[in-house]
Amino acid sequence: MKVAILEIAPHGHYTYVESMAMIYTSVPENEVVIFTNDKGFEALKHLVNDKISLEKPVNTEGVETLFQKIKGFDKVLVVTLEAYAKEPFRLMQVFEKTDFGCPIYYVIHNVDFWFQQSLTDKMRNVFYKLNGFKDFIYRLKVYGKYTRINQKIIEKIKHSNGKFVTLTSSVGNELAKYVGANRVAVIPFSIFDGRILAKEQPKTTARLRICLPGYVSSVRRDYASIFELLAQDKEGFLKQHVEWDFLGGISPHEGGEAIKQQAIDWQSKGYAIRVYDKPSVGLQEFDENLAQADIVLGNMHLQQGANSTYGKSKETGLIFTMIKAAKVGILPAEYACDAALSSSVLTFSTYTNLPAIFKKLIDDSDYWAMLKAEAQKNSEKFRPLSIYQRLEGKVVDG
C-alpha cells in the first residue's frame, strides 16, 4: 500500500504524523510519503528512510502544485486542516476542489467544530468565555464564515469512500452519531515502540518527577491550581519530594508568559520546576525529557468550548504521552479515559488530593512497581503493528 500523509497547517501535529508513518510502515510492503511545509519538513526529516520519504515543501501560495503531486496513492491521510483562521481556510478551499483519486482519511480533532453547527451552537461558541471585542470579531469569522466549508469537506470525504479519523474510541463513538460507525477510523496520536524507554537515564534525585505535557497555556491547562498547591505546602512536602516539568513551549497569547513567570518565582522559593523559555519544544527534546518523568499529570481544563469537552468531543494529547513512554498517569476523575489504560491511571477529584497520591507512591514501593508494570503492559497494546492490524482489519505476520 502506498500512503500519502498531508500536514500543511501553519501549526501542525508532527508527533501525530510520525505515529501514522510508523503505523503504516510496520508492514514491509507499505510505503509512506509525507507532504508538508517548511516547518513540518524540519520537524520530520529524522523519519526519512527506505520506506518513509518527505516531499519537498512548498509555501502556501504553491499549495495547488503540491496537491497535484498527490496522485497514485491508495489513501490520503489529512492530519490538521480545520478552518480556524484565514490561511487554513484558503488551504481547505483548494483541497476541496482537488481530486486525489483515492479514499481520504481526514482527522477530526473537534467533533463540536465540525458537526454541532446549528445557529444556536455557533452563537454559543462565539460568546463562550469571550475575551474582548477583537476576540468577538475573530470568532464571528470562524463560526460565521470559515466553518461554511466544513460541509463540503465532509461530503468530499464520503464521496471518496474515505473515513473520518479520531484519536480515541471515546471521541470516535461521539463522531459515529453523525457519520455512522462504518465511517470512523481510530488512529492513536502516539505509538509505543520502546525508543523513549531507551532514552531514560538513571535518576539523580529521589524526587517524584511530575510531567505536565503540552503548551504552557492558561486556556488549555490549569496551572493556577498547581501554584495554589504550592502555596498550601506549609510542611514543605512538595518542596522536598516533587519536581514539576512543564514540558511544552510557552503560548504567549494564552497566558503562557505569566505562567512562566510564576514558575520562576516558585523556583526562587526552592521548588523544583522545569519550564522551557521558548515557543515550542522539539520532538527529540520532548521525548528525552518525557523519558525522565515518573508521572504524567492531566491538569487540563476539561471544558474547551460551549459544546466541546476533552474525552468526548475532542481529545487531549496527554494520554498519548503516557502510551508513548509507558508512563503512569494521574487524571481528573471526570475525564473519560480509554479503558485500555485504566489499570495504570489514578484519578483525583480536586487538586488537594494530589499530595496524598504522591505520598503513597513514594512510600509504597510495591504499589508503585505494580503501576509501572501495568503502564508497560498497557502501552504494549499500542505498538505500530497492533494498531495497523486493528485499523486495517487484518492480521499481519510478524
Whole-model pTM: value is 0.77
Does the pLDDT value for residue 397 go beyond 90?
A: no
Q: What is the pLDDT of residues 150-177, one digit of tens each?
A: 999 999 999 999 999 999 888 898 899 9
Q: What is the mean pLDDT of the chain?
A: 88
Q: What is the pLDDT of residues 245-292, one digit of tens each?
A: 999 999 888 899 999 999 999 999 999 999 999 998 988 899 899 999
Does the pLDDT value for residue 340 go beyond 60?
A: yes
pLDDT value for 194: 76
pLDDT value for 61: 65
Cell matching residue 198: 531507551
φ/ψ of 133, rounded to 5, equals -65, -40
82 Cβ partners below 8 Å, 6+ apart? 9, 88, 92, 109, 110, 113, 114
Does the pLDDT value for residue 315 go beyond 70?
A: no
Measure the CA–CA gap between 172 and 103, rounded to whole angstroms: 19
With a pLDDT cut of 70, the percent of the chain lying above it is: 91
Asked if 352 and 346 touch (Cβ cutoff 8 Å), the reply is: no
With a pLDDT cut of 90, the percent of the chain lying above it is: 60
Measure the CA–CA gap between 153 and 228, rounded to whole angstroms: 44
pLDDT value for 259: 97
pLDDT-derived band at 306 (thresholds 50, 70, 90) equals: low
